[in-house]
Amino acid sequence: MDFIPFNKTYVPSEANDLIADVLMSGWITTGPKTKEFEKEFLEVIGSSNEAIAVSSGTAALHLAYIVSGIRSGDEVIVPSFTFCSTINMLVHLGAKPIFCDISENSLCIDPNDISKKITSKTKAIVVVHYAGYPCEMDKINKIAEEHKLIVIEDAAHAFLTKYNGSYIGSGNNITCFSFYATKNLTTAEGGMVVCADKKKSERIRMLSMHGISKDGWNRYSEVGKWRYDVIEPGYKYNMTDVHACIGLSQLKYYNKSNLRRVEIAAKYKEILSRNPYIILPPDPVDKNSKHAWHLFAIRVSGNSPISRDNLIIKLKEFNIGTSVHFIPNHQQSFYKDSTIILPVTEKVGDTILSLPMYELLTDKEIIYISDTINQILK
Ligand SMILES: Cc1ncc(COP(=O)(O)O)c(C=O)c1O
């Protein structure tokens, strides 16, 4: 079998025409295509909120934290089991991340542990819909309401994740998506902030463009006016029309690509469920919730004949690429603190392994990967 990479991005051929039109149009950065992408994204997730396309999921989080008023001295409850940027952006604002454990049933933030970590300095709770599995938002929103806390949703994995019958991004919390190259919807690099509050949305848009009153399109185009004003020092976080075209081409096929991920997950589960040493990823218990299957992350059980780390090496020998999501942040050099103990996060962090999960993965490859794992772990 040829090498099966951990990720292979599929961009529909329509992207070529869309990008060519933009390149020939004389305007290639933020403009009409970015607007169209924001609009179509909201339509697909059935959201009546505002959407602001930005240059990355990290930028989306940074702006969401700023408009939520997170600042120096604030404590923010956040899972350690996430990508570092969820946490780095808090630190850049001078806030203190308070690492929270995850629930073994969902691999998402554990509402019981959130309650234990609230102090008079707590400002916000950041949740991460890990792998595309929805967090327990009813419980989390209730805790936040009781303690007057803000909730920000890191939905980097959660394009087309459903909770209580609605797609993530259609509720009231500020929600941040990533369109990084490996994500279910990609613009190569990109992100989106989705926000129900009009005033905050306007500020997010302004901050994404240096904090000035108008973007380039609104200054240089036929309809634009030249004068602009710096309202506050912002960032250069805007998405370009070229990148928006990649996203637009994929949005046309969101249903098909989502269904393929469901099929891949089912096939993996069918074959790997025979293996007593594999713990399969959870399925939402509530039928009104839907997994987006951004990742298919298995765990190697405690009594397995080989460790997760050795399984990665063996799979590589069999030409299978894998990845680890995530090494917990409280175990990273910068964030290391021996007083932080998060039993579930630590156990999961030591044993989790993400298998290839993308539309271009063939049934033959899924069978090969699963059979190889079953052969190694017996
Ligand atoms: C959970 C999570 N949050 C945030 C991000 C950051 O997104 P980006 O790479 O688009 O900045 C990622 C990216 O992989 C992620 O997995």
253-307 pLDDT, tens digit per residue, is 999 999 999 999 999 999 999 999 999 999 988 889 999 999 999 999 999 999 9
Query: Crossing angle, helix 241-251 and helix 14-25, to 10 degrees?
Result: 150
Is residue 222 predicted with pLDDT exceeding 80? no
* pLDDT, tens digit, 9 for 90 and up, residues 180-212: 999 999 999 999 999 999 999 999 999 999 999
3-state SS class at 216: coil
Active-site residue 378, yes or no?
Answer: no
Residue 344: predicted pLDDT: 98
Is residue 237 predicted with pLDDT exceeding 90? yes
Q: Is 83 in the pocket of ligand 1 (CB under 6 A)?
A: yes
Residue 247: predicted pLDDT: 98
Tokens of 101: 């454990």
Residue 284: predicted pLDDT: 87
Tokens of 209: 């463009």
Residue nearest to ligand 1 atom 8, measured at CA: 57
Tokens of 161: 């994740």
> Would you list the domain boundaries of the chain?
14-251, 254-376
Is residue 110 predicted with pLDDT exceeding 80? yes
Residue 120: predicted pLDDT: 98
Residue 226: predicted pLDDT: 81
Q: Is 106 in the pocket of ligand 1 (CB under 6 A)?
A: no
Residue 353: predicted pLDDT: 98
Q: Is 177 in the pocket of ligand 1 (CB under 6 A)?
A: no
Instruction: Say which CATH topology domain 254-376 has.
Output: Aspartate Aminotransferase, domain 1 (3.90.1150)
Residue 48: predicted pLDDT: 97
Is residue 359 predicted with pLDDT exceeding 90? yes
Atom of ligand 1 nearest to the CA of 178: 10
* pLDDT, tens digit, 9 for 90 and up, residues 119-158: 999 999 999 999 999 999 999 999 999 999 999 999 999 9
14-251 and 254-376 share one fold: no
Is residue 219 predicted with pLDDT exceeding 80? no
Strand-pairing partners, residue 353, are 298
Mean pLDDT over each residue of the chain, to the nearest integer: 96
DSSP-assigned states of every residue in 10-73: ---THHHHHHHHHHHHT--SSSHHHHHHHHHHHHHTT--SEEEEES-HHHHHHHHHHHTT--TT
Task: State yes or no: cis peptide before 326, omega within 30 of 0.
Answer: yes
Instruction: Say which CATH topology domain 14-251 has.
Output: Aspartate Aminotransferase; domain 2 (3.40.640)
Is residue 335 predicted with pLDDT exceeding 80? yes
| Selected catalytic residue, list 183, 267, 316, 347 | 183
